Amino acid sequence: MSLRLALIGAGRMGAHHARVLSQSSGVALDVVIDRDAGRAELVASLGGARHGTDHDLAFGCDAAIVATNAETHAGVAATLLGAGIPLLIEKPLSPLLGEARSIVETSRRLAVPVSCGFVERFNPVVRTAERLMREDFGPALHLVGIRHSPPDVAGGLSVVHDLLIHDIDLALRLSAGAWTGQAVGGIWASPWTATAEIADCTLLLAGGAGATCSASRMSQRKVRSLSVATERAMLELDLLRRTITVYQHIGHLTALDDAGYRAQTASRASWSGRRRSGWCSRSSGRGCSLRARWWRALRMPSPSWLALPTPSRSAPGPSPSWPPSKRWGSAPATRS
């Protein structure tokens, strides 16, 4: 039997939730509630649901999604939690810390579950990074998150609560300990709307780890990246394309032919969800064997900067610590 869900809020995020619910098994959108009756009816039509403007219509549903304006979350949550309805609340729980704490306290007191919309926790590459760190590489020492987007005319919410909050959440999840309470940062607010559109911060985490997060709604392209450094590896996550690359330092090289210095690194690139992976063993400044493999697959001559040996699964790894486990395979290190 499907879970009957109520959707509170029929704006942009509400419409997104309605679309996802209509394509999901095991759940059914029962009612859409919005102060704009016409908008509620339109979004309800995506899933053949009832619609209306009164929050009481959600009573009797198995759970509810709260996708209203952030300023109204506390009031809506209090009504629905009081009725014993589990909630998924879009982030932030509230722009005000006191209201957010009140929602959490009410949830605990009434023993009614509340979840916040931190969708990046369920990104396949984040799940992969958590597993690799737990099984092979250890906790994070340093994290750098970049979450930039083009200007959003439908803004209004601070970029801190809209974007930066995701990478702060990931930093806390991937580090060994909680936030120490120490942080520095800055924001840029639009002179036309007075809304924060750019925000950077550095957090000191328990155990001495540090996290630097950057969020912007003034970029010319969309970027969702996270770099995680541990004692044994560097994990680079592209949260948008859902790819992850793991780097391990091999050693320092001195190239006598051009009197240059190079750091030799082995890496493995994985395509999450596509069952495609390949080795890239390289020295800094050069291309990788994975790219060369693409050119060979197209039966085209590789450019000189891609002329690296083909990886071999049977060859020994570049160092005793690489690869970390059998499932990773192995590849030869190269010099250039």
Secondary structure, 3-state, the chain: CCEEEEEECCCHHHHHHHHHHHCCCCEEEEEEECCCHHHHHHHHCCCCCEEECCHHHHCCCCEEEECCCHHHHHHHHHHHHHCCCCEEECCCCCCCHHHHHHHHHHHHHHCCCEEECCHHHHCHHHHHHHHHHHHHHCCECEEEEEEECCCCCCCCCCHHHHHHHHHHHHHHHHECCCEEEEEEEEEEECCCCCCEEEEEEEEEEHHHCEEEEEEECCCCCCEEEEEEECCCCEEEEECCCCEEEEEEEEEEEEECCCCEEEEEEEEEEEECCCCEEEEEEEECCCCCHHHHHHHHHCCCCCCHHHCCCCCCCCCCCCECCECCCHHHCCCCCCCC
CA–CA gap between residue 88 and residue 1 (Å, rounded): 20
Q: How far apart are the first and last CA of the chain?
A: 61
Cβ-based neighbours of 18, under 8 Å, separated by 6 or more:
7, 10, 29, 32, 43, 44, 46, 47, 49
Q: Taking the domains of the chain in order of start, what are their residue ranges?
A: 3-117, 122-241
Q: How would you list the strands of the sheet with 179-189, edge to edge?
A: 179-189, 196-205, 210-216, 142-148, 223-229, 234-238, 243-255, 260-271, 276-283
* Fold for the domain defined by 3-117: Rossmann fold (3.40.50)
Q: What pLDDT is attached to residue 258?
A: 58
Distance (Å, whole) CA 46 – CA 42: 7
The low-confidence residues of the chain, meaning pLDDT below 70, are 155, 177, 253-264, 269-336
Question: Which pLDDT score is estimated for 204?
Answer: 93
* Per-residue pLDDT at 309: 38
Q: Residue 318's pLDDT is what?
A: 41
**Closest listed residue to residue 74, CA positions, set 108, 101, 42, 111:** 101
For the domain spanning 122-241, the CATH number is 3.30.360.10
- 332 Cβ contact partners less than 8 Å away, ≥ 6 residues apart: 281, 309, 311, 312, 315, 316, 318
Instruction: State the pLDDT at residue 268.
Output: 73
> Rounded to an integer, what distance in angstroms lies between the CA atom of residue 11 and that of residue 313?
51
pLDDT at residue number 206:
85
d(CA 71, CA 194): 17
**Residue 152: what pLDDT?**
83
Query: For 22-81, what is each residue's pLDDT tens digit?
Result: 999 999 999 999 999 999 999 999 889 999 999 999 999 999 999 999 999 999 999 999
Q: How far apart are CA 82 and CA 112, in angstroms?
A: 9
Say if strands 114-116 and 142-148 run parallel, antiparallel, or are unpaired. Answer: unpaired
Q: pLDDT, tens digit, for every residue of 248-268?
A: 988 876 666 655 666 667 777
